[in-house]
Structure 1
Amino acid sequence: MGQPLGTTDLESPQESPLRIGVVGCGNIIAAYLATFPRLTTVKLVAVADIDPSRAEAVAAGQPGVRALGVDQLLADPEVDLVLNLTIPAAHADIALRAVTAGKAVYGEKPLAATTDEARKVLEAAAAAGVVVGCAPDTVLGTGIQTARKAIDDGLIGAPISATATMVTPGHERWHPQPDFYYVPGGGPLLDMGPYYVSALVTLLGPVVSVIGAASHTRGTRTIGTGPRAGETVPVSTDTHVTGVLVHESGALSTLVMSFDAVATQSANLEIHGETGSLVVPDPNHFDGDVKLRSLGGEGWEVLPVSAGYVGSARGYGLHDLARTPAGTEPRAGGELAFHVLEVMESVLESAALGQSVKVASRCERPEAVPLTDLGG
């Protein structure tokens, strides 16, 4: 067997790495492949894809990694954890099959296409006694964590509000297979919102209710790159979403998530408190400058890096999961991912109903990450 899922000391010596099998060999796998060699806590052993040629191509470039069928990988006793990199519509199915096989699972965001599906994953995992983790792990980097430490240290006083802004004219300009961005389960909120909402919950705590509004301006999108360039894709989900999140702490966060607008000069994240304001780096990245403007101060100052995984990248959530004490929720864990999904789903529900919607789930504000340099 590989390393047990849970140890008692973040820096304790490794017994053996957590053996990873990846299902889904699309664009995003490249980021994980670049990170794995830097992590002694995990080891890639197998890959699978609905298109066997894609799995074979990945395995050919990774010494010792086997290309398997999806069913083979899920049943393989040499796989401790399934890294689920399938499209959002398949997240729950693969996660449930992995859990049923007695394997831990870590997925790309969102945890599932709906909270109903996500709830089944968490319930099955609890019954099987296996761990669930979920991207984004960008919240573990020095950008969000330095901002978290500034808030925890009282540098802005009691938090009052936040703004989160993501504006782009659409992913079809660069993604060769953008169809899933424009169907239910996609759209700017469910695609990019997990980065922003996960950061807001990490910084300000869980959300109790939301108010939302949404629209879309185009019925089709034109693919701009790859073998399908020039082909049109139908749009069947909202592509511009705004929302107000009421945190349990009383802080209010305002979201703007758009695949319709052109650009913005707004900061990706701003946090405002009684005695100061923070500009927080893009939550789609792991690092970046955190800027503080104090009440009575003369300007913005860049805070020194003071928390988070130094030089982190996609895959550090797997390291953090592997080093999480047994019986403890990972920082990029299933409970946070479920809460974030319910918040986003509630924003869309509120937009459809035209009224405030309560968020039923709660999650613990994830434990802060001390300044940690894994080297490499």
Structure 2
Amino acid sequence: MKRLIALVIALAGPVAADPATQARDALARLEAAMEALEAAEGARDRVAALTETVRGFEAGLAAMREGLRAVSIREAQLARRLEAREAGVAQLLGVLQSIGTAPAPVLFLHPGGPLGTARAGMLVAEVTPALEAEAGALRRDLQEVVTLRALQEAAAEQLTEGLAGVQAARAELSAAIADRTDLPRRFIADPVGTQILIAATETLEGFASGLSEIGAAAPDAPPLPGIADRKGELPLPVEGTILRRAGEADAAGIERPGIVVATRPRALVSTPATATLRYRGPLLDYGQVSILEPEDGMLIVLAGLETVFGEAGQVLPEGSPVGLMGGAAAGADAFLSRNGEGGGSDRSETLYIEIRKDTTPVDPLDWFRAD
């Protein structure tokens, strides 16, 4: 990795700043994530360490995707520029070659006599600096193309390591969460009552409303700090883009009170605040669902996950992982695509987020910080 970063830095001089800098920074993030994965083995709180490691990998791979996309676009621009100059350069080379084959004495003669020879010399003297400037520009463009292609080729190995690293980190995180026994509990789950509620309800609203009646309070249950003073400042549970706002109809014309966030496959979903895990598991047609209670009378519903973590009744600290999105993780080929297209198309998964206050849905964007 260090060798590749040194290579990028050495080549960055003649290259357009943005693509090279983006790719270089992304490689540095991936290196830091690899080191964090090794350090997490001996961490006291492995769940927290591995959570940060997964986020580091996700940030590094996202930056790598954007950096290589910029590199690909820049290479395509240079290729088009060189192609546009091709005819003129070929004509110029043909003239220079024909001049080069003429005998040396003939080069100093002009059909117009001494006056024509003098004028031709003056013309050549005027044209030469422009030709040198054009040749220099061509050299720089060609060198930039070579540099950008070398950067893409050199990134393949590190991308493979990074993609393998994030898969290993996710697997270790799942194992660490399964082994965790130190979280406090606010209530004792009632699996039978939960299944009866699921069977008896046909809507998310009905299920969420009935949750308050399921489970018994745990002895010495810790109080929750509440989030009333953080309204509008909560981080989104997953890194992504707002695809649909509350009340906006989807392709089938269905309106829901929550928001839909487009995110990348296998993205980590975490709790935006300290909260009790009220439910986790399959629910209706929402896929795997995680329902959090950050304060009495308030529920945050996260639906559409593929994997869910934790046990009902546990109090999860802010930033704790609650699950992973589905989809197939992108391979190195997707990152190294040379077409420069696909901005945002890598966010193929969607997370549905709904907030209920005293059983009434409220606009999640009133609570979350989203630009």
Normalised by the length of structure 2, the TM-score is: 0.23
> Larger C-alpha radius of gyration, 1 or 2?
2
Q: Which of the two has greater helix per residue?
A: 2
Normalised by the length of structure 1, the TM-score is: 0.23
Q: Which of the two has greater strand per residue?
A: 1
Structure number with greater CO (CA < 8 Å, separation at least 6) is 1
